[in-house]
Amino acid sequence: MSLAEKYPQEVEKILAKYPPEHKKSAVMPLLYLAMREEGYITKADKADIAKLLDMTTTEVSSIVGFYTLFHDEKAGKYRLQVCTDIGCALRGAEQYLAELSDELGIKPGETTPDGLVTLEEVKCLAACDKAPMFQVQSGEGIQYHEKMTVGATLELIETLRKEAK
Protein backbone atom coordinates (compact mmCIF):
# COMPACT_ATOMS: atom_id res chain seq x y z
CA MET A 1 0.00 0.00 0.00
CA SER A 2 1.29 3.47 -0.78
CA LEU A 3 1.74 6.09 1.96
CA ALA A 4 -1.10 8.15 0.51
CA GLU A 5 -3.40 5.12 0.85
CA LYS A 6 -2.17 4.17 4.29
CA TYR A 7 -2.16 7.65 5.86
CA PRO A 8 -4.29 9.86 3.57
CA GLN A 9 -4.96 12.64 6.10
CA GLU A 10 -1.41 12.89 7.30
CA VAL A 11 0.02 12.98 3.79
CA GLU A 12 -2.41 15.72 2.88
CA LYS A 13 -1.51 17.72 5.99
CA ILE A 14 2.20 17.41 5.24
CA LEU A 15 1.80 18.53 1.62
CA ALA A 16 -0.28 21.53 2.73
CA LYS A 17 2.69 22.95 4.64
CA TYR A 18 4.61 23.80 1.48
CA PRO A 19 3.82 25.77 -1.68
CA PRO A 20 2.34 23.35 -4.28
CA GLU A 21 5.14 24.19 -6.72
CA HIS A 22 7.71 23.14 -4.07
CA LYS A 23 6.26 19.87 -2.89
CA LYS A 24 9.73 18.33 -2.78
CA SER A 25 9.96 20.01 0.62
CA ALA A 26 7.70 17.25 1.93
CA VAL A 27 10.37 14.59 1.43
CA MET A 28 11.67 14.62 5.02
CA PRO A 29 8.29 14.44 6.79
CA LEU A 30 7.20 11.72 4.38
CA LEU A 31 10.33 9.69 5.11
CA TYR A 32 9.51 9.87 8.83
CA LEU A 33 6.02 8.65 8.02
CA ALA A 34 7.47 5.78 5.97
CA MET A 35 9.50 4.67 9.00
CA ARG A 36 6.50 4.59 11.32
CA GLU A 37 5.52 0.97 10.94
CA GLU A 38 8.78 -0.93 10.66
CA GLY A 39 11.32 1.63 11.82
CA TYR A 40 13.06 1.73 8.45
CA ILE A 41 12.47 2.85 4.88
CA THR A 42 11.99 0.23 2.17
CA LYS A 43 12.80 0.45 -1.53
CA ALA A 44 9.09 0.57 -2.27
CA ASP A 45 8.69 3.55 0.12
CA LYS A 46 11.41 5.45 -1.71
CA ALA A 47 9.80 4.83 -5.09
CA ASP A 48 6.43 5.78 -3.67
CA ILE A 49 7.67 9.08 -2.20
CA ALA A 50 9.59 9.86 -5.39
CA LYS A 51 6.43 9.43 -7.43
CA LEU A 52 4.36 11.53 -5.07
CA LEU A 53 6.84 14.44 -5.16
CA ASP A 54 8.02 14.25 -8.79
CA MET A 55 11.51 13.26 -7.73
CA THR A 56 13.71 10.37 -8.85
CA THR A 57 14.21 7.41 -6.53
CA THR A 58 17.93 8.18 -6.57
CA GLU A 59 17.24 11.66 -5.23
CA VAL A 60 15.15 10.24 -2.40
CA SER A 61 17.87 7.70 -1.62
CA SER A 62 20.47 10.43 -1.44
CA ILE A 63 18.35 12.25 1.15
CA VAL A 64 18.04 9.07 3.19
CA GLY A 65 21.80 8.62 2.99
CA PHE A 66 22.60 12.18 4.05
CA TYR A 67 20.65 12.34 7.31
CA THR A 68 21.56 10.10 10.23
CA LEU A 69 18.01 9.70 11.59
CA PHE A 70 16.73 8.08 8.39
CA HIS A 71 17.36 4.36 8.22
CA ASP A 72 16.92 2.00 5.29
CA GLU A 73 18.11 -1.09 7.11
CA LYS A 74 16.31 -3.06 9.74
CA ALA A 75 17.66 -2.81 13.27
CA GLY A 76 16.21 -3.39 16.73
CA LYS A 77 12.68 -2.14 17.35
CA TYR A 78 14.23 0.58 19.51
CA ARG A 79 17.49 2.35 18.79
CA LEU A 80 18.99 3.44 22.08
CA GLN A 81 21.27 6.31 21.12
CA VAL A 82 23.70 7.36 23.83
CA CYS A 83 25.46 10.71 23.56
CA THR A 84 29.19 10.47 24.24
CA ASP A 85 30.08 13.82 22.75
CA ILE A 86 32.22 16.35 24.54
CA GLY A 87 29.67 17.72 27.05
CA CYS A 88 28.39 14.31 28.10
CA ALA A 89 31.89 12.76 28.03
CA LEU A 90 33.06 15.38 30.54
CA ARG A 91 30.29 14.11 32.86
CA GLY A 92 30.81 10.37 32.71
CA ALA A 93 28.93 9.28 29.58
CA GLU A 94 31.72 7.10 28.22
CA GLN A 95 31.88 5.06 31.40
CA TYR A 96 28.09 4.84 31.49
CA LEU A 97 28.00 3.49 27.93
CA ALA A 98 30.74 0.95 28.65
CA GLU A 99 28.84 -0.36 31.70
CA LEU A 100 25.53 -0.44 29.86
CA SER A 101 27.16 -2.26 27.00
CA ASP A 102 28.53 -4.88 29.44
CA GLU A 103 25.16 -5.35 31.12
CA LEU A 104 23.40 -5.81 27.79
CA GLY A 105 26.16 -7.99 26.40
CA ILE A 106 26.27 -6.04 23.15
CA LYS A 107 28.65 -3.45 21.75
CA PRO A 108 27.54 -0.14 20.23
CA GLY A 109 26.21 -0.93 16.76
CA GLU A 110 24.84 -4.33 17.85
CA THR A 111 21.31 -5.51 18.61
CA THR A 112 20.05 -7.60 21.53
CA PRO A 113 19.35 -11.22 20.46
CA ASP A 114 15.60 -10.69 20.81
CA GLY A 115 15.74 -7.85 18.28
CA LEU A 116 14.44 -5.30 20.78
CA VAL A 117 17.28 -2.82 21.28
CA THR A 118 20.10 -1.61 19.05
CA LEU A 119 22.73 0.24 21.05
CA GLU A 120 24.26 3.24 19.33
CA GLU A 121 26.78 5.94 20.17
CA VAL A 122 25.79 9.37 18.86
CA LYS A 123 26.93 13.01 18.71
CA CYS A 124 25.64 15.85 20.88
CA LEU A 125 21.87 15.81 21.56
CA ALA A 126 21.65 19.25 23.21
CA ALA A 127 21.29 17.95 26.76
CA CYS A 128 24.86 18.43 28.05
CA ASP A 129 23.67 19.49 31.51
CA LYS A 130 21.73 16.24 31.98
CA ALA A 131 24.37 13.60 31.23
CA PRO A 132 24.40 10.66 31.01
CA MET A 133 21.52 10.70 28.57
CA PHE A 134 20.21 8.98 25.49
CA GLN A 135 17.32 9.12 23.11
CA VAL A 136 15.18 6.22 22.01
CA GLN A 137 14.29 6.23 18.34
CA SER A 138 11.62 3.95 16.95
CA GLY A 139 9.18 4.21 14.08
CA GLU A 140 6.86 6.12 16.38
CA GLY A 141 9.29 8.93 17.13
CA ILE A 142 12.06 9.97 19.45
CA GLN A 143 12.08 10.37 23.23
CA TYR A 144 14.78 11.80 25.49
CA HIS A 145 15.88 10.11 28.71
CA GLU A 146 18.13 12.30 30.82
CA LYS A 147 20.23 12.02 33.98
CA MET A 148 20.25 8.26 33.53
CA THR A 149 21.91 5.47 35.44
CA VAL A 150 22.61 1.99 34.12
CA GLY A 151 19.99 0.59 36.50
CA ALA A 152 17.27 2.97 35.35
CA THR A 153 18.16 2.20 31.74
CA LEU A 154 17.80 -1.54 32.27
CA GLU A 155 14.40 -0.94 33.88
CA LEU A 156 13.31 1.13 30.90
CA ILE A 157 14.40 -1.64 28.55
CA GLU A 158 12.32 -4.13 30.57
CA THR A 159 9.29 -1.88 30.19
CA LEU A 160 9.86 -1.65 26.45
CA ARG A 161 10.23 -5.41 26.28
CA LYS A 162 6.86 -5.92 27.97
CA GLU A 163 5.17 -3.36 25.71
CA ALA A 164 6.59 -5.04 22.62
CA LYS A 165 4.94 -8.35 23.50
Partner 1 sequence: MMKYMLLRHREIPNLNQIDVFLKEDGFEGFKKALKMDTNAVTDEVKAAGLRGRGGAGFPTGVKWSFMDKNNWPHYVVANADESEPGTFKDREIMESNPFQFLEGVAIASYAVGANVAYIYLRGEFWEVAHFLDEKIDEMEKAGFLGENIQGTDYSLKIYTHLGAGAYICGEETALLESIEGKRGQPRVRPPFPPSQGLYNKPTVVNNVETLSSVPYIIANGADRYREFGGTEKSPGTKIFSLSGRVKNPGNYELPLGSTFRELIFGEEYGGGIIDDKKIKAIMPAGASSSLIVADDKALDTPLTYEDVREVGGDLGSASVIVIDETVEMDWLITKTLSFFAHESCGKCTPCREGTYWMKAISERIHAGEATKADLELLHDVAKQVQGKTLCALGEFSTMAVVTSIERFPEDFEAKVYE
Number of residues that bind partner 1 (CB under 8 A): 38
Residue 56 binds partner 1 (CB under 8 A) = no
How many beta carbons lie within 10 A of that of residue 133, not counting itself? 23
Residue 9: HSE in the Cβ half-sphere, 13 Å Cα cutoff: 0
Contact 150, 100 (CB under 8 A): yes
Orientation of helix 150-164 relative to helix 93-104, angle to 10°? 50
80/127 with CB nearer partner 1: 127
Helix and strand totals (H; E) in the chain? 8, 4
Collapse the DSSP code of 75 into the 3-class scheme (helix H, G, I; strand E, B; otherwise coil) and give the result.
coil
- Please report how close the Cβ of residue 1 comes to partner 1 at its closest, in angstroms: 23
Question: At residue 54, what are phi and psi to the nearest 5 degrees?
Answer: 55, 45
- Please report how close the Cβ of residue 131 comes to partner 1 at its closest, in angstroms: 8
- Please report how close the Cβ of residue 105 comes to partner 1 at its closest, in angstroms: 26
- Please report how close the Cβ of residue 5 comes to partner 1 at its closest, in angstroms: 22
Residue 124 binds partner 1 (CB under 8 A) = yes
Positions that interact with partner 1 (CB under 8 A): 17, 19, 22, 24-29, 31-32, 53, 55, 62-63, 66-70, 85-87, 89-91, 123-129, 135, 141-144
